[in-house]
């Protein structure tokens, strides 16, 4: 009979998340030998390894990837059993790992997390901000419980829920020739110098689709943050497609001007991501109730 303990499951989950026994031991306040023994005992009972050893790091093998969501579910159910059994009621605790693409993480984090954090002050929320493709990869690896991204996502393992409407705008510095035109046509963008987000970001994908309907221009810079792009445009290095929410302050201060481009479709949906195999315990359900 298999008798795997919650501690062994915790070690397994943390090693899967952090990639090493030492890091997992530090997170769980164990000695490294104790963590190693816990993993070895779990693998002995399973009669199979759950990690591949690669150049000093541990990476989940096929068996480990199958078992990780089950281990996470068991730990969450164990915590819920304790909370309900001790009369904890609605007082949620624990850790919730959320991934957000750059626009959401940098400009709409209050909308995403505010109500949940205020309602559940004992929950530790860990927010990872990256581009959409990296958040999707982390969701597929079970490194995050939830994601919120800008771009379209189509993966059979992920459930995509519409969250908010969003839009990009084309902007320029106030002294740019296009900023001084009363009416802009698509042909006016011939030879334009563009500052774009890095490949792999949802903003880059939408920008490229929109720009494909314009005359050829030149990409002069590729940057991985909207703030950096905003500063480059303010400095007169080019024009850009930037999330509207990112430039409200600069437009109000007269440092940027939005170019009216009704001939471009720059609207998009922001979406919540959930892994279909992931157990949706009290923490995830509470988050969804507040973020909806």
Between the two ends of the chain, the Cα-to-Cα distance in Å is 43
Q: How many CB atoms lie within 10 A of CB 213?
A: 11
Within the chain, which residues score under 70 in pLDDT? 1, 88-90, 292
**pLDDT at site 90:** 63
Q: Given this model, what pLDDT does residue 55 score?
A: 77
- DSSP-based three-state secondary structure for 46: helix
- Which contacts (CB < 8 Å, 24+ apart) does range 79-82 have? 79/281, 80/281, 80/282
pLDDT at 89: 61
Between strands 193-197 and 218-223, the pairing is parallel
In angstroms, the CA 84 to CA 86 distance is 6
Q: Which helix (H) or strand (E) holds 197?
A: strand 193-197
φ/ψ of 284, rounded to 5, equals: -65, -45
What is the DSSP-derived secondary structure letter of residue 121?
Answer: T
Q: 81, 71, 20, 22: which is closest to 42 by C-alpha? A: 71
The pLDDT tens digits for 135-169 are 999 999 888 999 999 878 989 999 999 999 999 99
């Amino acid at each position: 009979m298999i008798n795997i303990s919650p501690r062994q499951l915790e070690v397994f989950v943390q090693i899967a998340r952090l990639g090493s026994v030492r890091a997992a031991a530090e997170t769980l306040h164990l000695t490294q030998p104790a963590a190693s023994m816990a993993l070895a005992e779990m693998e002995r009972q399973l009669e199979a390894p759950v990690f591949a050893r690669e150049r000093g790091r541990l990476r989940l093998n096929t068996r480990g990837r199958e078992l990780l969501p089950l281990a996470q579910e068991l730990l969450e159910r164990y915590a819920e059993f304790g909370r309900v059994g001790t009369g904890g009621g609605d007082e949620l605790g624990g850790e919730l790992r959320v991934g957000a693409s750059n626009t959401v993480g940098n400009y709409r984090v209050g909308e995403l997390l505010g109500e949940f954090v205020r309602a559940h002050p004992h929950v530790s929320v860990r927010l990872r901000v990256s581009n959409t493709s990296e958040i999707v990869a982390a969701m597929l690896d079970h490194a995050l419980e939830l994601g919120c991204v800008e771009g379209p996502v189509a993966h059979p393992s992920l459930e995509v829920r519409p969250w908010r409407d969003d839009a990009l705008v084309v902007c320029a510095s106030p002294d740019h020739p296009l900023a001084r035109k009363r009416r802009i046509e698509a042909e006016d963008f011939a030879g334009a110098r563009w500052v774009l987000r890095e490949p792999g970001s949802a903003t880059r994908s939408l920008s490229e689709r929109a720009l494909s309907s314009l005359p050829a221009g030149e990409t002069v810079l590729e940057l991985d943050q909207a703030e950096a792009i905003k500063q480059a445009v303010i400095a007169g290095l080019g024009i850009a497609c930037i999330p509207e929410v990112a430039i409200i302050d600069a437009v109000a201060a007269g440092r940027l001007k939005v170019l009216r481009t009704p001939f471009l479709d720059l609207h998009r949906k922001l979406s919540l991501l959930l892994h279909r195999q992931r157990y949706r315990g009290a923490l995830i359900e509470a988050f969804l109730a507040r973020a909806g």
